[in-house]
Amino acid sequence: MSQDGPTTGLGTHPGRVLRAELDTRGMSANQLALALRVPANRITAILRGERAISAETAVRLGRYLGTGPALWMNLQTQFDISVVETTKGEAIDRELAGAPRP
């Protein structure tokens, strides 16, 4: 799922934000993985836009980086909604066109 925004027209994958954070701190993906006590391939997959940030990873990131977990979950949710809007939005509109409204 390497859908990371400007090149695809989708929202920004949270891996891009995490990459910028690591660059600012001068940290590698492996250093972050060791600090978070998670497999390095989890972090590298997030950074490449191939993996979503789970709630557990958001808590670990938020506590370690001092950002709070909501930041990471919100970024992931915004990205996920962007993907659905872009890839399925028109089909959903057609499906719901005749549905009765409450």
* Segment 65-89, tens digit of pLDDT: 999 999 999 999 999 999 999 999 9
Domain boundaries defined on the chain: 14-96
Q: Which two tokens stand for residue 26?
A: 């001068």
d(CA 85, CA 28) in angstroms, rounded, equals 33
Q: Which CATH architecture has domain 14-96?
A: Orthogonal Bundle (1.10)
Residue type, 81: I
**Which residues, 6+ apart, have CB-to-CB distance to 59 below 8 Å?**
69
Q: Is the pTM of this model over 0.75?
A: yes
d(CA 24, CA 34) in angstroms, rounded, equals 18
Asked if residue 34 lies in contact with residue 41, where contact means CB atoms within 8 angstroms, the answer is no
Low-confidence ranges of the chain (pLDDT < 50): 1-7
Residue matched to tokens 């995490």: 18
